């Protein structure tokens, strides 16, 4: 596993060394601070506005990070020959996939800890309530974008940078409306019901991970439901990584 650690470390250093990443990271922190200045203008709803504001920008940062950096590490490296120097070393292709994923996942976790912690700190300094029910939505926000990262890596094994980002974003958007497929299946005939049910079970259900509003009103699902959701995300992610390793082993990079 030493090769995996080396690849993960190289991935992290490469991303952190880019000024654009640092600028975007600092920009999100400034926007979170700006949210505190805006909330007093909405008396009675200031806490809700800031919760929504903060979670929206945390999610936006993770979305940009996963799509752009995940796509660049996979689809971009395939296009510019970035994988050649890796595969010229004694490293298996599955180690490249796991190493890139581990580096991106770890960096995303650190960013979310810093931004999420800063968000909660600013929240407390503004005199707004900070409870445990706000930490859980952050955890599932991370799991949601880990799942998207798995999709990006899988698509990046076979598509260009632009196509990887485009199709990943499309699946991310569609994954927020999978509940509609159940409604279609319930009312449609057999020829439509079966494809709808197949798509419902194949596509990731991203909408299930949005717990910000539930955390705000302290109406989070039960521990059993949260555990089931976490198991679903990790199982789906494991399948995506297995498929990515298999697919990458079949790709001709010459």
Per mean pLDDT, which range of 49-53, 114-118, 142-146, 168-172 is the poorest?
A: 49-53
Q: What is the pLDDT of residue 85?
A: 66
Three-state secondary-structure class, residue 45 = coil
pLDDT tops 80 at residue 192: no
Q: What is the pLDDT of residue 43?
A: 44
- CB burial string 71-100: b at 16+ within 10 A, e below: bbbbbbbbeeeebeebeeeebebbbbbbbb
pLDDT tops 50 at residue 193: yes
Q: Which two tokens stand for residue 2?
A: 């030493």
Q: What is the pLDDT of residue 20?
A: 64
Rounded CA separation 69/149 (Å): 10
pLDDT tops 50 at residue 42: no
Q: How far is CA 160 from the centre of its chain?
A: 20
Alpha-carbon distances of 103 from 12, 99, 242, rounded to whole Å: 6, 6, 17
* Average pLDDT estimate for 124-128: 68
Higher pLDDT, 22 or 232: 232
Q: How confident is the model at residue 144 (pLDDT cuts 50, 70, 90)?
A: very high
The pTM of this model reads: 0.86
Q: pLDDT tens-digit profile of 198-221?
A: 777 788 888 888 877 666 667 778
* Average pLDDT estimate for 12-24: 74
């Amino acid at each position: 596993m030493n090769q995996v650690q080396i690849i993960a470390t190289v991935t992290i250093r490469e991303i952190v060394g880019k000024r654009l990443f640092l600028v975007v990271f600092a920009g999100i922190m400034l926007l979170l601070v700006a949210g505190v200045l805006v909330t007093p203008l909405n008396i009675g709803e200031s806490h809700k506005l800031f919760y929504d504001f903060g979670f929206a920008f945390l999610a936006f940062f993770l979305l940009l990070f996963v799509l752009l950096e995940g796509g660049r590490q996979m689809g971009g490296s395939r296009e510019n020959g970035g994988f050649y120097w890796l595969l010229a070393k004694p490293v298996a292709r599955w180690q490249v996939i796991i190493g890139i994923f581990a580096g991106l996942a770890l960096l995303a976790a650190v960013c979310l800890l810093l931004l999420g912690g800063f968000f909660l700190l600013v929240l407390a300094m503004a005199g707004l309530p900070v409870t445990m029910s706000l930490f859980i939505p952050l955890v599932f926000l991370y799991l949601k974008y880990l799942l998207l990262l798995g999709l990006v890596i899988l698509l990046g094994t076979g598509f260009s940078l632009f196509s990887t980002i485009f199709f990943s974003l499309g699946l991310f958007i569609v994954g927020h409306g999978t509940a509609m497929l159940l409604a279609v299946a319930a009312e449609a005939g057999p020829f439509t019901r079966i494809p709808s049910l197949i798509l419902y079970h194949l596509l990731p259900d991203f909408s299930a991970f949005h717990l910000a509003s539930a955390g705000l009103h302290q109406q989070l699902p039960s521990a059993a439901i949260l555990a089931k959701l976490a198991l679903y995300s990790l199982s789906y992610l494991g399948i995506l990584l297995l498929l990515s390793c298999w697919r990458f082993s079949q790709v001709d990079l010459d």
